[in-house]
Amino acid sequence: MKTIKRLLILTTILVMVLFSNCKKTNDLAPFSPEITNLPDNFQLQATNIVNVSTSITYSWTNSGTKANIDISGILTSGDGSLSIKDSNNAQVYTSDLKTTGSTTSIAGVTGSWKITLVLTNSNGTLNFRVQKGN
């Protein structure tokens, strides 16, 4: 009985050691973004991101034909971009995330829009909002 118990303990320790050395991917999880994704209102904020590389697309419902975009985060290094496509997959907006400020997209078709965030070795703070435009 003691031998079986020891074998189980050693097996458990070995499994823990093996999995602790697995390479982890660097996606959005390491910096725990806060995301609000409601019809006509999308927001994403993530603070203190470190060397993040990822590409992620969110579906967002826009009942309007334009979107108001506000970017206020600060990337201290690396690259980041934000692009938006309307329900016909036509690009209505694209920008470097190092460019802050407010703007409006070109007109598109209402419905399910796509918001794509691309980060490459990015460090800093992400903060942007996309809302139904006028």
pLDDT in tens, 12-37: 565 555 554 444 444 445 567 899 99
Number of neighbours of residue 88 by Cβ within 10 angstroms: 10
pLDDT digits (tens, 9 = 90+) for 79-121: 999 999 999 999 999 999 999 999 999 999 999 999 999 999 9
pLDDT of residue 115: 98
pLDDT of residue 81: 97
Number of neighbours of residue 43 by Cβ within 10 angstroms: 16
pLDDT digits (tens, 9 = 90+) for 52-81: 999 999 999 999 999 999 999 999 999 999
Tell me which architecture the domain covering 25-132 has in CATH: Sandwich (2.60)
pLDDT of residue 104: 98
Cβ pair 49, 123 in contact under 8 A: yes
Tokens of residue 75, six digits: 């990337």
**pTM for this structure?**
0.77
pLDDT of residue 11: 59
Mean pLDDT of the chain: 87
pLDDT of residue 12: 59
In terms of Cα–Cα distance, which of 123, 4, 109 is closest to 62? Answer: 109
